[in-house]
Structure 1
Amino acid sequence: MPGTIDPAAALQHSLLSRLKLRQLTLLQAVDRHRSLVRVADQMQLSQPAITKALHEVEDIFGSRLFDRTSRGLVPTAAGEAALHCAKRWLAELEATTRVLTSLEAGRSGRIRLGLTQQVPQQLMASALTHLLDRSPRISVMVREGTTDELVASLVAREIDCAIGRSYDGDASGLIQQAIYEQEPCLVVGAKNVKRLSRGALDWVRLAQLDWILPPPNTPMRRTYNAIFVGAGVQPPMPILETTSLRSIETVLRHEPNAVTIFARDVMLDMERSCDWAALPYRLSWNLPPVSFFTLKEVEVHPTVQSLRRAVNETAQRMMKSAR
């Protein structure tokens, strides 16, 4: 009808014309502290001033963003959406300042790369060498984490691309490309290999050992649980849940019945420096493929494109040499 106002257009106009960066910073501070008193202390303002500022932000968004409860300020559904917006905008701003300071220092730019700890050494070396050997030099930031953590960092605009396991969750704008298949193997302390490798592969017996597994709700933990269930065995309760190589190596060295699953090529990379070894069993399944991740709006960036090509080429050479 003539004269009808589109609510979404009206809200967009309010955000574009009234919202300021300091108000996004305020939202982030409220989310972090959940207390106006602590936010006031952090921002060195009075509590009434913070209360007034929060009311102004809620007026701009046209919704109540936080419920006042006995446990402090709790985001409403609208508040969660506003916080997601604030985090993304502030992350983009931080990334832009880093790029600009990198350019001022004579670099050709900056890229933020995420890696899981089970990326093969050769693939990781290829990625870092490709980036660091560029001329003019580029500034590189590397963050390690599980695939879930790296995808969350991508969506939050905290990193530009990542190499990890294939991701089976839902993430808006995520682009992933499988680049490398890895064979799994059972890994134990080197001194325990002979004792723990007696007999045929038996998942019932293996389930009774002291397992080291990735944290719950990670892609690899879901994969391992499915393997046990497929073998008709209840997934074991692990003695350690971690992706930390140092923690895994320590427990394998000191616990006589400790066992975990690793990519065979990564295990071989680590075998010389860590006191662990693979059991002589061939598993009948592959790990989720190593994949290259980025976001739709970032995939056309020349540095991201050239890095993906370099990593792909290395992965193809690795697979050919493994045949």
Structure 2
Amino acid sequence: MPTVRDPASDLQHALLSRLKLRQLSLLAAIDRHRTLGRVAAEMRLSQPAITKALREAEDIFGSRLFERTSRGLVPTPSGEAVLHYAQRWLAELEATSRVLTSLGAGQSGRLRMGLTQQVPQRLLSSALTHLLDRTPRMAVMTREGTTDELVAGLVARELDCAIGRSYDGDATGLVQEAIYEQAPCLVVCAKSVKRLSRGPLDWARMAKLDWILPPPNTPMRRTYNAIFVGAGVQPPLPMLETTSIRSIEMVLRTEPNAVSILARDVVAEMELSGNCAALPYRMSWNLPPVSFFTLKELEGHPMVRSLRSAVTETARSMQGTAA
């Protein structure tokens, strides 16, 4: 009786026996530059050598990975699939090399942590102190971004964990735990508080001010737009779109009609400068909770587990103080 061949098993065998990391690096470089000439210059090889290497990679995968267009070399659907995994493998290799380098330098390892701008200072301090006050010391890399950007970094294996807002999108293997609730408040220039807080909260009146909002298609922008819509008001066209606390503070300091929505505890930290202040209105809703993120494959890692316990304990203490 003839043996039934499994094409997927045959391809897996070809990848295990023939595929080399330099070929994955080549495919990633082609995707970045989209021209073989630029790839050849980066890799310090001749263009014919790059062309030959691409053909070898396509032969291994059994598919055409790029096609020539007026925009240069563009990945085919098979190329997109290969690049998705190639970039993850290369990111894992880069992370491994840095961990080994840190261990060789006498450190206890390396952890890559993502943070949103609205993580309270006390929570940030707790996380960094936990990581840095170790013997031997841990090497730490931090990256700031929106929750969507941090989740993308986790999925791409560019981050090990993150602290951000709760995420309602679809990300394979993502694990998140809500650790801290934050109340929202309206924040304005300190000199404008008396003028802008006359009367009850009126969202129609507020919408006419100069708004500072997060960029479009971010979780917080969607939340704020829903608040205006729920109040029967068209969401305002913002004067500034940013998640940078420094940028928000600067504009609030100089623009008398500028307003934004931030977490009350973050605004309390901003108020210490005397330039910004919260309007005396209480919202009937909470911000999406601050959450700890990692991947399923990393949640049992000793350093990730230890950090999650530390920030969760700090968040519990902060919540009790605020209550």
Could you tell me the TM-score, scaled by structure 1's length? 0.97
Residue of structure 2 in register with 1:272 after alignment: 272
Shift of 1:161: 0.4
1:216 Cα shift?
Answer: 1.0
For 1:208-227, list aligned pairs within 5 A. 208-227=208-227
Partner residue in 1 for 2:154: 154
**Cα distance in 2, alignment partners of residues 242 and 50 from structure 1:** 41
User: Would you say 1:185 and 2:185 are equivalent positions?
Assistant: yes
**Deviation of the 1:136 alpha carbon:** 2.0
- Residue 70 in 1 paired to residue 56 in 2? no
Deviation string, structure 1 residues 2-40 (Cα, Å, up to 9, x no partner): 422112111211111111111111111111111111111
What is residue 142 of structure 2 aligned with on the other side? 142
Q: Distance in 2 between matches of 1:319 and 1:145?
A: 24
In structure 1, C-alpha distance between the alignment counterparts of 2:310 and 2:132, rounded to whole Å: 13
Q: What are the equivalent positions in structure 2 for 1:1-323 lying under 5 Å apart?
A: 2-273=2-273, 275-323=275-323
For 1:44 and 1:110, how far apart are their aligned partners in 2? 31
Taking the aligned partners of 2:193 and 2:160, their CA distance within structure 1 comes to: 41
8 Å contact 2:249–2:270 — kept in the other structure?
no
* Deviation sequence 1:180-211 (CA, Å, 0-9, x none): 00000001111111111112101111111111
User: Helix, strand or coil for the counterpart of 1:285?
Assistant: coil
Q: Do 1:213 and 1:240's aligned partners in 2 also have CA atoms closer than 8 Å?
A: yes
Question: Would the aligned equivalents of 1:249 and 1:274 in 2 still touch at CA under 8 Å?
Answer: no
Between stretches 14-23 and 298-307, larger displacement belongs to 14-23
Distance 2:208 2:202 in 1: 10
Counterpart contact for 1:113–1:160, Cα < 8 Å: yes
Q: TM-score, normalization: structure 2?
A: 0.97
- CA displacement, residues 134-181 of structure 1 (integer Å, 9 cap, x when unaligned): 222111111111111111111111110000000011111000000000
Report the Cα distance in structure 1 between the residues aligned to 2:53 and 2:280, rounded to whole angstroms.
65
**Counterpart contact for 1:174–1:296, Cα < 8 Å:** yes
Identity %: 77
Distance 1:26 1:127, change over 3 A: same
2:275 and 2:5 mapped to 1: Cα distance? 69
User: Any stretches of 5+ residues in structure 1 without a counterpart?
Assistant: none
Matches of 2:40 and 2:319, distance apart in 1 = 57
> In structure 1, what residue type is equivalent to 2:164?
G
Amino acid at match of 1:42: E
- Is the 8 Å Cα contact of residues 113 and 159 (structure 1) preserved in structure 2? yes
SS at match of 2:200: coil
On the 8 A contact 2:67/2:73 being kept in 1, the answer is: yes
The 3-state SS of whatever aligns with 2:273 is: coil
CA contact (8 A) 2:160 2:294 kept: yes
How far apart, CA to CA, are the structure 2 residues paired with 1:66 and 1:120? 46
- Name the stretch that deviates more: 251-260 or 112-121: 251-260
Deviation at 1:253, TM superposition (A): 1.4
Whole-angstrom CA distance in 1 between matches of 2:14 and 2:191: 67
Q: State how far apart, in whole Å, the 2-side matches of 1:11 and 1:218 are.
A: 39
Q: Which amino acid aligns with 1:205?
A: R
Whether the 8 Å contact between 1:214 and 1:220 is mirrored in structure 2 is yes
1:274 offset after TM fit, Å?
A: 6.1
User: In structure 2, what residue type is equivalent to 1:217?
Assistant: N
Which residue identity is paired with 2:296?
K
Q: For the structure 1 residues 2 and 319, does the alpha-carbon distance in structure 2 shift closer, same or farther, using more than 3 Å as the test?
A: farther
> Which secondary structure does the structure 2 equivalent of 1:272 belong to?
helix
Q: Give the RMSD, CA atoms, in angstroms.
A: 1.2
Q: What secondary structure is seen at the aligned counterpart in 2 of 1:179?
A: strand
* Number of equivalenced pairs: 323
Spell out structure 1 runs of 4+ moving beyond 6 A. Answer: none
Quote the offset at 1:270 in angstroms: 1.9
Contact 2:211–2:260, Cα closer than 8 Å, also in 1: yes
